[in-house]
Amino acid sequence: MIELQWSSDLESGIKDIDNQHKELIELINSAHKLTEKNEVKKIEALITKLLDYSRYHFSTEEKYFIEYNYPEAEEHKFEHAKLIEKTISKYEQVKNNQETTRSFFAFLKTWWEHHLKFDDKKYRDYFKKIRAKEI
């Protein structure tokens, strides 16, 4: 499976969010490398780090939702909560041999890629409109 790649279509225009997205991509790709080696114990520590960083990142985005009065904030926050819940659940399945590490990585990659390209695009476009009005 191909790793997740940073590209300009993922840019939010907000430096700290973009830097956090890059860090998340690095963590996901590190998880991919460990899944290729099937190093379940190392994956567990990395998943804990990914979950902690995801929560931190989501709080940053949600701070901007408040600052810019983003109208779809509650829906977006719900997606964040669902990801945390689903990541924990799916990783428990890996630990219980109910799911492979490879399918777990595929889930992470697919969810984050979709979220960055489509869900986050909504607030990127909204923030750009607001910022244009401020100038």
Q: Which of 49, 31, 27 is nearest to 94 (CA)?
A: 31
pLDDT tier, 135 (very low <50, low <70, confident <90, very high otherwise): very low
Within 13 A of 45's CA, how many CA atoms are on the CB side?
A: 4
Task: Please check whether residue 69 lies inside any domain of the structure.
Answer: yes
Look up the domain containing 56 and give its range: 15-134
Query: To the nearest whole percent, how much of the chain has pLDDT over 70?
Result: 98
State the Cα–Cα distance between residues 113 and 5, nearest whole angstrom.
9
pLDDT tens digits, 51-90: 999 999 999 999 999 999 999 999 999 999 999 999 999 9
Domain count along the chain: 1
- Cβ atoms within 10 Å of 99's Cβ, excluding its own: 16
Task: Please check whether residue 7 lies inside any domain of the structure.
Answer: no
Task: Answer left, alpha or beta for residue 95, where phi above 0 means left and psi between -120 and 50 means alpha.
Answer: alpha
Task: Please check whether residue 43 lies inside any domain of the structure.
Answer: yes
